[in-house]
Chain A
Amino acid sequence: MRLLNRSAGRLSRHRRGPVAGLVVLLLGLLLTGGLYAAVSPSSSASSAEDDQALVKQGRELFLVGCAFCHGQNAEGQTDVNGKLIGPSLVGVGAAAVNFQVGTGRMPLAAPGQQGPAKPQTYSDDEISALAAYVASLAPGPAIPTEADYSTDGMTDAERQEAVVRGGQIFLTNCTACHNFTGAGGAMPRGGYAPSILNTSPRHIYEAMLTGPGPMDVFSNGNLSPDEKRDVIAYIQTMREQPSFGGFSLGNMGPVSEGLFAWLVGLGTCVAFAIWIAAHTTRSSKKKESQA
């Protein structure tokens, strides 16, 4: 597999403008991506009757678990001071529900805070029902399927290029907040960009699509579906590749490296120095030659 990549790399060396080549290829990918999005059906193929039942089930779940903050009809809710308790969910789409509930962020323990990822409260079926209900309110981003973010069916050379391109998009759009490995970072006033090291590809895709919490949106007009797929391909490559240099020290960059230099490096050397200068055991005996 890797050998093929190598030859692909050699081929591209002979191209005069490698960036231009990349752009042409991307345009092609963009076009096909756009066409695919235009012709593919926006709703699932299940029967209308099933859909109705699912929406109904979702509405019931919603009234019990979500309406307190988001309002009876998901129109959003403010407290007496006009402060937002829960935003309107009209138009956020099934993808937002699948992300928020699927990563355990919703339901929130208390309104107003940034929802941390935690084990999910609802079952997968219940999440589908909730998503169906919210999606029925107004059109919004649908839940991506595995075909949207999988690189299966690509040739090795294509996958290789996708990963390289995904890496560039990742480093341009994502690392500023989520750090170079996706370990997360700090945001203003106690906010934070969470670690995405263990986030599933589908949830990453949904996050880009819907911009959960304070995160920006990377809609399909911003990053095309193929570009999102490439970003995910890069993240997965980084996850799968070994830590070449040894243990990665939390992927926090120079701060943790400095800590290790002092505690492990200098600590060990000083411990050896103490041993070297320490007095060895003494005997009460006298040496025969001197006794």
Chain B
Amino acid sequence: MSADTSHDTGHDTGHLPINAATDALLPDPGLAEHQWRPTDVDARAEKRAERQVATLFGLSAVATVLFVVFYITLKTGTDGHTFIGLGASNVALGTTLGLALLLIGLGVIQWARKLMGDHEISEQRHPAASSEEDRTATLAALNAGLEESGIGRRPLVRNSLLGSVALLAAPAVVMLRDLGPLPNQVVGEYPGAGLHHTIWAKGTRVVRDVVGTPIKASDIEIGDLFNAEPDGLFDLEGAELQIAKSKAAIVMLRMDPDDIISDVTRNWSVQGIVAYSKICTHVGCPISLNERTTHHLLCPCHQSTFDLADSGRVVFGPAGRHLPQLPLGVDDEGYLIALSDFLEPVGPSFWERNTKSPSEVAKELKS
């Protein structure tokens, strides 16, 4: 080992080799002799490096000044300045700030690499474990403490303390109770409340999403796909609106009536117009990627695919259950309406859910 080896003087006493199992096939050549850098031996190289580092710091300062200039002069927002089709403010601020920081970093590192002393030194390791004396002393102290506290001799005191402290977990848990109501507590509190209901009801008109206008069956051509909502949804506000939307959204499309496969789907359709929940039965993404030619509806989140001609049967992907269909009818004025709420919960599964097949659901509607 070279003469540079230095030892930490703190723990040297009683030090044992940490890991002696490695058998040395060859002798350790020891740390290589230190080689100097050009900057150590050549005054001109040293000056050059010094100037280089200072230049990096100087350029950083220039970038910082530019940052402030750009901050003041460049306008943000849709009417803001642009630069080759990019938002000028963001690009200018990011670039100048980035350069200012980067140049400082480069300068400091160049300083360390070229100018700071670079002798490798060696430091002694110590086993992670404490020394035997330390362990003995600590155990003795611990025992003395325990002895004096009498925790071993007075089980009544000890156990009653442990019991009462353990019981304190109860308030911590109980106090979280008001985080939210239980699923069955919300039923009836607001329109369409609860996991089993939506705001659809018998006679609710189907309206276009975004604009909220009702839809006549005669408005719809074969191949048309509507993203629709129940009438009255847009009268709601805030959380009630969001909750209602998150369950009531539907996709409605018109196919050639001959394309319809299942009887349930046919019974609940009007002139080939069918409506399904837009909420995926997998984890609840809105789902409206319809392939008109096959009537297959794909979810963009996890690619579950449902057959809209066949009761929303799963044809591919991770969904475990068909897409609920909304029974459609027409009112006196020719507008499309729902014949009832969805007859099964929409959206993702939950444990209390009593899953039925589409035909079972259809029977229920008749009764």
In the assembled complex, B78 has its CB within 8 A of some CB on chain A: yes
A254 interfacial contact with B, CB 8 Å? no
One of A176, A217, A244, A247 near B223 (C-beta < 8 A):
A217
Find out whether the CB atom of A27 lies under 8 angstroms from the CB atom of B213: yes
In the complex, A263 has a CB within 8 A of chain B: no
B38 nearest CB across to chain A (Å): 5
List residues of chain A with CB within 8 A of the CB of B40: 283, 287
Whether A283 contacts B42 in the complex (CB less than 8 A), given A216-B223, A242-B87, A244-B90, comes out as: yes
Number of interface residues of A (CB under 8 A): 48
Contact B289 A187 (CB under 8 A): yes
Expressed in whole angstroms, the Cα–Cα distance for A23 and B118 within the complex equals 74
Chain B 97-138 interface mask (CB, 8 Å, partner A; 1/0): 000000001000100011000100000000000000000000
CA distance A213 to B294 in the complex (A): 11
B221 touches A219 (CB 8 A): yes
Does A285 sit at the interface, judged by CB under 8 A? yes
Once the chains are docked, how many angstroms separate the CA of A77 from the CA of B108?
Answer: 75
Evaluate contact between B91 and A172: CB separation under 8 angstroms: no
Assess whether B210 is in contact with A247, with CB atoms less than 8 Å apart: no
Closest to B290 in A: A216
Q: What residues on A are CB-neighbors of B226 within 8 Å? A: 222
- Is the CB–CB distance between A243 and B87 below 8 Å? yes
| CB proximity of B273 to chain A, nearest CB, Å | 12
| Interface residues in B23-41 (C-beta closer than 8 Å to A) | 35-38, 40-41
Decide yes or no whether A276 CB sits under 8 A from chain B. yes
B145 at the interface (CB under 8 A from A): no
Contact string against A for B residues 173-213, beta-carbon threshold 8 Å, 1 for contact and 0 otherwise: 00000000000000000000000000000000000111111
Interface residues as binary, B319-345 with A (CB distance below 8 Å gives 1, 0 otherwise): 000000000000000000000000000
Shortest distance between the CB of A241 and any CB in chain B (Å)? 6
Q: Which residues of A contact B212 (CB under 8 A)?
A: 23
A264 to B85, CA, bound (A): 22
CA distance A286 to B40 in the complex (A): 9
Q: Which of A155-191 contact B (CB under 8 A)?
A: 165, 168-169, 172-173, 176-177, 185, 187-188, 191
Judged by a CB distance under 8 angstroms, whether B311 is at the interface is no
Residues of A within 8 A of B210 (CB): 165, 168-169, 172
Selected contact of B86 from candidates A173, A188, A247, CB within 8 Å: A247
Q: Hey, which chain B residues are within 8 Å of A287, CB to CB?
A: 36, 40-41
Measured CA separation A138–B19 after assembly (Å): 91
Besides A286-B41, A287-B36, 4 more A-B contacts (Cβ < 8 Å) are: A173-B288, A176-B287, A216-B292, A246-B86
Q: Can you sample 21 A-B contacts with CB below 8 Å?
A: A23-B211, A23-B212, A165-B210, A172-B210, A173-B225, A176-B288, A177-B288, A187-B298, A188-B291, A188-B294, A188-B298, A211-B223, A217-B225, A222-B220, A242-B80, A244-B90, A246-B86, A280-B37, A283-B37, A283-B41, A286-B36
Chain A residues within CB distance 8 Å of chain B? 2, 19, 23, 26-27, 30, 165, 168-169, 172-173, 176-177, 185, 187-188, 191, 193, 211, 213-219, 221-222, 227, 241-247, 272, 275-276, 280-288
Residues of chain B at the chain A interface (Cβ within 8 Å) = 35-38, 40-42, 78-80, 82, 85-88, 90-91, 94, 105, 109, 113-114, 118, 208-213, 215-216, 218-227, 234, 253, 286-294, 296, 298, 300, 303, 305, 316
